[in-house]
Amino acid sequence: MNGKGRGLLIIISGPSGAGKGTICKSFMERNENVALSVSATTRTPRTGEVEGVNYYFMSKEKFTEKIVSNDFLEYAEVYDNYYGTPKSNVEEILESGKDVILEIDIQGALKVKENTEEGVFIFVLPPSMEELKQRIINRGSETPESLMKRFKSAYKEINYISKYNYAVVNDKVEIAVQKLEAIISAEKCRVDRIKESILDSKEGIIHEQLYD
């Protein structure tokens, strides 16, 4: 690990159409010491999506092999496709001292919660259910059936908000990103995160931890 210590594992989820992707993209543009985990998926690429940037696209067979060899930190079936977070990438980035964002669905977030002690769990909410519906329609990439499916699941998914540490309403992207930045700053100041370095370190390192 470098002098900065282990990075933060940040899990961002919320219903389809809440705008997690937009928030994450904007957050990534404004912040350097953070990486977005690239997931594996069995779904077909959408126009403009790039292998290794948006997802690692793979067959169901390859995905199943990876499940068997325990390569995923979590995986889930979402809208008839499989999605999973490659474990080794995430671990490497955290060890290097960088923060990692997992932009994943709610089932996946709950599995991360079961499997690891770390993690800051953030739930992104739409300003209203009507707005959520409109955003999914505006995306234009869904069939009427998949639109209904996503909208119905959104109602169910919102019930899981109590499992999360923070909720951010995505009314204006700029404000939502500022809230995300505030959450992460606060998490980095938590005494239980920096306690060991305060107790074990010499003064210079204490200063680095507290004022980095």
Closest approach of ligand 5GP to the CB of residue 4, in Å: 26
Helices within the chain (DSSP H only): 20-30, 60-68, 87-95, 106-115, 129-139, 144-157, 173-188, 191-200, 203-211
User: Which of 108, 123, 170, 177 lies at the binding interface for ligand 5GP (CB under 6 A)?
Assistant: 108
Q: Does 42 bind ligand 5GP (CB under 6 A)?
A: no
Q: Does 103 bind ligand 5GP (CB under 6 A)?
A: yes
CA separation for the pair 42, 164 (Å, rounded): 27
196: CB partners within 8 A, 6+ apart: none
Closest approach of ligand 5GP to the CB of residue 82, in Å: 9
Residue 18 annotated as binding?
yes
Minimum CB distance to ligand 5GP smaller for 173 or for 194:
173
Minimum CB distance to ligand 5GP smaller for 35 or for 104:
104
Q: Does 99 bind ligand 5GP (CB under 6 A)?
A: no
Which among 90-98, 99-107, 152-160, 201-209 is the span making contact with ligand 5GP, rule CB under 6 A? 99-107
Residue 19 annotated as binding?
yes
Long-range contacts of the stretch 143-147 (C-beta < 8 A, 24+): 146/79
Angle at 184 between CA 89 and CA 203, to 5 degrees: 90
Annotated binding site for ATP: 14-21
